[in-house]
Amino acid sequence: MAGRFHTRGHAAVLAAVARAIDRGRPPHALLLVGPGGIGKTTLALDLAAGLLCLDPDPAARPCRACAGCRKVEHGNHPDLHRLAPEGAGEQIRLAQVQGLTGDMSLLPMEGRWRVAIIEAAHRLNPDAQNALLKTLEEPVGFACIVLAVDDPTTILPTVESRSARLRMGPVPAPEIAALLVEGGLLDASQASAVARASGGRPGVAVGLARDPTAVLAAARLARNLLDLTHADRRRRLAVVADLLGDATVLDTAIRGGSPEPASLAQPASSPGPARGPRASDGAAGARATRAGRAQGGRAAPAERRRAAIRVLSTWREVGRDLAVVCRGGAVEVRHLDLLEDLRATAAVVDEARLLHFLERLDGLVAAIEAYANPELALDALVLAWPGPARAA
């Protein structure tokens, strides 16, 4: 199966997609749920390639050699439609969905199906979702619509109830490391470190591997968040700009480092493994952070929002690691470079407040996506981040 599909990990989800291709009966609407960078778009393209493949043997689809597969690979298949957020607010709007539903009502031009992939479908505004609902209620036999969703709570219940659902979880670090090595992005030792830092998300790993300054920014971001445990109020408020600066560098690398799987075989840099972060990269990383921090003051609202959400994502990982260490665990820790500091902090942190804080984080992501001021939200969070129990 690995040769047919570009998706790594997600064995159960991939098996369900393979069955749909083999039987020629995909769901009319499929909801792929999982955090950003987990591989939802890659899996959706695997499904599209399988449905539009011209190989006469269903068990061999996608063959990756026929005209249909090559057109999907190159993004120019007339029966494959992709929709993504647009504009300053990064929304998927009514007009976009109306154009898509019009296309999906037509007969396929070259393949057996028309396939639509809606990326970041959690950015569909309510009007757009209601327009899509009509197509879901009156499905056309040759149409398959895939919605890639980071946050399923933003999807209307009427849309969700008419869609099959597959949840995608973290990919094991060894599989991500193998992807980076095979793509010529890193050598084995560097790939293992980046794979662990990616939190089980291949797209994040690719972005980090292509930009050493982003690796350093990610490490600084995690360390600064953990160090806040022992910081006073003034230090906590002062560090918000640094957090956003590193998050901006990290977000830029990740968004620019999520190519289609085929391009991993042709890295933009010179042939051979890319060089990992070195100690001498510290100055470059600091410059990148200062640039990101300076940009934060004049960045567009969507960029500020993405940076804040990137801070919250890293915060969730650090908080989870701290909670694991509080319970005596260590094997499951993602930020192994922080293990000793995590143990020292776990010995004094108020565990009940930590768990309450992690619950609060989950709710704030949706608030920042919708309306909340990113800087004010982070100001509130740095003050709420639990300190030593004796000082609580």
Q: Which of 257, 224, 260 is nearest to 241 (CA)?
A: 224
pLDDT of residue 65: 94
Residue 181: CB partners within 8 Å, gap ≥ 6? 187, 188, 191, 273
Task: Catalogue the E-assigned strands of 112-237.
Answer: 114-118, 143-149, 164-167
Separation CA 113–CA 30 (nearest Å) = 15
Interaxial angle between packed helices 202-210 and 173-182, expressed in degrees from 0 to 180 and rounded to the nearest 10: 50
pLDDT of residue 262: 38
Which of residues 78 and 254 earns the better pLDDT score? Answer: 78
Which of residues 158 and 287 earns the better pLDDT score? Answer: 158
- In this predicted structure, the answer to whether residue 263 has a pLDDT above a threshold of 50 is no
The percentage of the chain sitting over the pLDDT mark of 70, rounded to a whole number, equals 87
Q: Specify the DSSP element, H or E, that contains 269.
A: none
- Structural domains of the chain, with CATH: 11-167 (3.40.50.300), 183-391 (no CATH)
Which of residues 31 and 153 earns the better pLDDT score? Answer: 31
Interaxial angle between packed helices 301-326 and 240-256, expressed in degrees from 0 to 180 and rounded to the nearest 10: 100
**Residue range 195-207: average pLDDT?**
88
- In this predicted structure, the answer to whether residue 253 has a pLDDT above a threshold of 90 is no
Residue 57: CB partners within 8 Å, gap ≥ 6? none
pLDDT digits (tens, 9 = 90+) for 294-310: 444 456 778 888 899 99
3-class secondary-structure state, position 148: strand
Residue 155 is classified by DSSP as: S
Separation CA 104–CA 81 (nearest Å) = 9
**Residue range 346-360: average pLDDT?**
90
Mean pLDDT of the residues in the chain: 85
- In this predicted structure, the answer to whether residue 55 has a pLDDT above a threshold of 90 is yes
Q: Which residue has the tokens 């690995």?
A: 2
**Residue range 15-31: average pLDDT?**
93
DSSP string of 89-120? TTBB-HHHHHHHHHHHTSPPSSSS-EEEEETT
Which of residues 281 and 251 earns the better pLDDT score? Answer: 251
Q: Which residue has the tokens 């957090």?
A: 243
Separation CA 142–CA 370 (nearest Å) = 35
Residue 9: CB partners within 8 Å, gap ≥ 6? 39, 170, 171, 172, 175, 176, 202
